[in-house]
Amino acid sequence: MKFINIKDWGLGINFQHPYLIAGPCSAETETQVLQSCKGAAEQGAMMLRAGIWKPRTRPNSFEGIGKKGLPWIKAAGKENQLPVTVEVANKDHVKEALAAGVDILWIGARTTVNPFATQEIADALLGVDIPVMIKNPVNPDIDLWIGAIERFYGAGIKKLAAIHRGFSVSRSAPFRNLPMWEIPIELGRRLPQLEIICDPSHICGNRKLIPEVAQKAMDLHFAGLMIETHIDPDEAWSDAKQQLQPNALGAVLKNLVLRKSETDDKNFLAQLETLRVDIDKIDRELTQLMGKRMKIVEAIGQCKKENGITILQMNRWVKIFDNRVAATIAEGLSEEFAQAFIQSIHNESIRQQTRVMNKEVL
């Protein structure tokens, strides 16, 4: 896939990195949209957002003002000379948004998760030249995310970007949606040309955490940020805890440390190269050691097979899991890594022994 990058979307504005999308979670009243967007624009927003149709977890919450809010966000765009974006979740939303002259569409996390919905929206956009930003699905499934991107690309939309808004998992504390940075990083590896915007608001669910997440996104070289901004956040009709007052948005941006992803500074490059040579050597040793370990595992499998013993001895696994994790942590590594590392080695050991056990059967 060959995407058109955000700065070439032809929106008539001079995009500067990092791209900033800001505006309220939901359009509530005309005044609230105009004031929130004006505040966001004054702090450097390059696109203005407002949710018109809101996908809410429970019924009887505010489900969006509906199409009567479209002229409000358009008016905010006009007043601040900025393009505007709204979320669309079905073909009727697309029709209304296009009729109102919305400049950019975004697909919400609860829509990306559903291939019927993304295909319906993509079909409704056949032959339309409009940029689309696609949020990650609520669940941590990168293929659903890529699948949605492919559906829009297949409908002829080349002005595409992704938005990382975290994942709904059972243990997400302190976040509302766990960032799982490895997923957008993997998206970047698989679609290197695709620009990814981070949405700290929906990751954090709490305005206090926004600076930390926004900084991390910048350090991971995301293309931009989408941050919910409301003129009076505490009184917001949706996502009150996570929205920022325009001045607070300004403070977050001012405190961001922006680092460049590359340089041609010779000294730095030489120093980095030396360190990377060491890393490459260690990685080679690690893989060789792992191969050696698995040869022993194979011999153990053979031995168990000959003696009619099961592959797994739970009491040994319980014991080695705990002491290997502790030893890994003692080397200065995180508990999360230690557990995943030991589990991954053990899974491979089981796979190898299963192969030995069933050799003749297979």
Q: Binding residues for ligand PEP, per CB under 6 A? A: 25, 51, 55, 108-110, 135, 165, 202
Give me the least distance between CB of 90 and ligand PEP, in Å please: 14
Q: Which does 165 bind (CB under 5 to 8 A by kind): ligand PEP, Mn ion, none?
A: ligand PEP
Taking contact as CB under 5 A, which single stretch among the options 8-16, 24-32, 34-42, 343-351 is the one that binds Mn ion?
24-32
Q: Nearer to ligand PEP by C-beta: 109 or 144?
A: 109
Residue nearest to ligand PEP (CB): 108
Q: Is 236 in the site for Mn ion (CB under 5 A)?
A: no
Residue nearest to Mn ion (CB): 25
What b/e string do you get for 324-350 counting C-beta neighbours within 10 Å, with b at 16 or more? Answer: bbeebeeeeeeeeebeeebeebbeebe
Q: Nearer to Mn ion by C-beta: 55 or 140?
A: 55
Closest-CA residue to 32 (of 251, 247, 245, 199): 245
Give me the least distance between CB of 81 and ligand PEP, in Å please: 23
Residues 6 or more apart from 360 whose CB is under 8 A from it?
A: none
Taking contact as CB under 5 A, which single stretch among the options 23-31, 141-149, 171-179, 319-327 is the one that binds Mn ion?
23-31
Q: Which two tokens stand for residue 266?
A: 């010779």
**In sequence order, what DSSP letters do the residues of 127-189 get, joined into one string?**
T----EEEEPPSSS-HHHHHHHHHHHHHTT---EEEEE--B--S--TTSSSB--THHHHHHHH
Residues 6 or more apart from 128 whose CB is under 8 A from it?
A: 98, 157
3-state SS of 59-119 is CCCCCCCHHHHHHHHHHHHHHHCCCEEEECCCHHHHHHHHHHCCCEEEECHHHHCCHHHHH
**In sequence order, what DSSP letters do the residues of 334-350 get, joined into one string?**
-HHHHHHHHHHHHHHHH
Interacting positions 25-44 with Mn ion (CB under 5 A)? 25
Taking contact as CB under 5 A, which single stretch among the options 6-14, 37-45, 71-79, 236-244 is the one that binds Mn ion?
236-244
Contact status, residue 223 vs residue 161, Cβ threshold 8 Å: yes
Give me the least distance between CB of 227 and ligand PEP, in Å please: 10
Count CB neighbours of 200 within 10 A. Answer: 29
Contact status, residue 254 vs residue 48, Cβ threshold 8 Å: no
Q: Nearer to ligand PEP by C-beta: 74 or 135?
A: 135
Q: Nearer to ligand PEP by C-beta: 172 or 339?
A: 172
Q: Is 239 in the site for Mn ion (CB under 5 A)?
A: yes
Give me the least distance between CB of 217 and Mn ion, in Å please: 17
Q: Nearer to Mn ion by C-beta: 195 or 239?
A: 239
Q: Which does 160 bind (CB under 5 to 8 A by kind): Mn ion, ligand PEP, none?
A: none
> What phi and psi values does residue 227 have, to the nearest 5 degrees?
-130, 125
Q: Which does 249 bind (CB under 5 to 8 A by kind): Mn ion, ligand PEP, none?
A: none
Q: Which two tokens stand for residue 212?
A: 């930390």
Q: Which two tokens stand for residue 20?
A: 């900033």
Give me the least distance between CB of 103 and ligand PEP, in Å please: 16
Closest-CA residue to 161 (of 193, 190, 139, 115): 193
Q: Nearer to ligand PEP by C-beta: 55 or 250?
A: 55
Give me the least distance between CB of 117 and ligand PEP, in Å please: 12
Q: Nearer to Mn ion by C-beta: 9 or 175?
A: 175
Q: Nearer to ligand PEP by C-beta: 109 or 231?
A: 109
Q: List contacts with Mn ion (CB under 5 A).
A: 25, 239
